Amino acid sequence: MQELTHYINGAHVKGTSGRFADVYNPATGEVQAKVPLASVSEMDQAVAAASAAQPAWAAVNPQRRARVMMKFVDLLNRDMDKLAEALSREHGKTLPDAKGDVIRGLEVVEYCIGAPQMLKGDFTDSAGPGIDMYSMRQALGVTAGITPFNFPAMIPMWMFAPAIVCGNAFILKPSERDPSVPLMLAELMEEAGAPKGILQVVNGDKEAVDAIIENEVIQSIGFVGSTPIAAYIYAEGCKHGKRVQCFGGAKNHMIIMPDADMNQAADALVGAGYGAAGERCMAISVAVAVGDDTADRLLEKLVPKVESLKVGPYTAGDDVDYGPVVTAAAKANIERLVQTGIDQGATLAVDGRDFSLQGYEDGFFVGAHLFDNVTPDMDIYKHEIFGPVLSTVRVPTYEDGLKLAMDHEYGNGTAIFTRDGDTARDFANRVNVGMVGVNVPIPVPLAYHTFGGWKKSVFGDLNQHGPDAFKFYTRTKTVTSRWPSGLKEGGEFSIPVME
Report pLDDT for 74: 98
Count other Cβ atoms within 10 Å, centred on residue 442.
Answer: 19
pLDDT digits (tens, 9 = 90+) for 269-307: 999 999 999 999 999 999 999 999 999 999 999 999 999
pTM (predicted TM-score): 0.95
- Nearest CA-CA partner of 409 in 445, 389, 381: 381
Q: Give CA 98 to chain center in angstroms.
A: 14
pLDDT digits (tens, 9 = 90+) for 201-238: 999 999 999 999 999 999 999 999 999 999 999 999 99
- Nearest CA-CA partner of 162 in 119, 224, 219: 119
Collapse the DSSP code of 213 into the 3-class scheme (helix H, G, I; strand E, B; otherwise coil) and give the result: helix
Q: Given strand 2-3, what is the order of strands in its sheet?
A: 2-3, 30-36, 20-25
Collapse the DSSP code of 130 into the 3-class scheme (helix H, G, I; strand E, B; otherwise coil) and give the result: coil
What is d(CA 356, CA 499) in angstroms, rounded to the nearest whole number?
81
Q: Which run of H or E residues covers position 131?
A: strand 131-139
Biggest distance spanned by C-alpha atoms of the chain: 92
Report pLDDT for 303: 98
In sequence order, which ranges of 286-383 are alpha helices (DSSP H)?
292-307, 328-343, 379-382
Count how many Cα atoms sit within 13 Å of the Cα of residue 33 in the half-sphere of its side chain.
Answer: 19
What is d(CA 478, CA 137) in angstroms, rounded to the nearest whole number?
9
Report pLDDT for 487: 57
What is d(CA 86, CA 412) in angstroms, rounded to the nearest whole number?
29
Count other Cβ atoms within 10 Å, centred on residue 21.
Answer: 19
Percent of the chain residues past pLDDT 90, beyond the cut? 95
Q: Which residues of the chain have pLDDT under 50?
A: none
What is d(CA 222, CA 160) in angstroms, rounded to the nearest whole number?
10
pLDDT digits (tens, 9 = 90+) for 189-201: 999 999 999 999 9
Report pLDDT for 263: 97
Residue pair 109/157 in contact (Cβ under 8 Å)? The answer is: yes
Q: Does the annotation count 166 as an active-site position?
A: no
The catalytically annotated residue of 112, 166, 246, 281 is 281
pLDDT digits (tens, 9 = 90+) for 108-167: 999 999 999 999 999 999 888 889 999 999 999 999 999 999 999 999 999 999 999 999
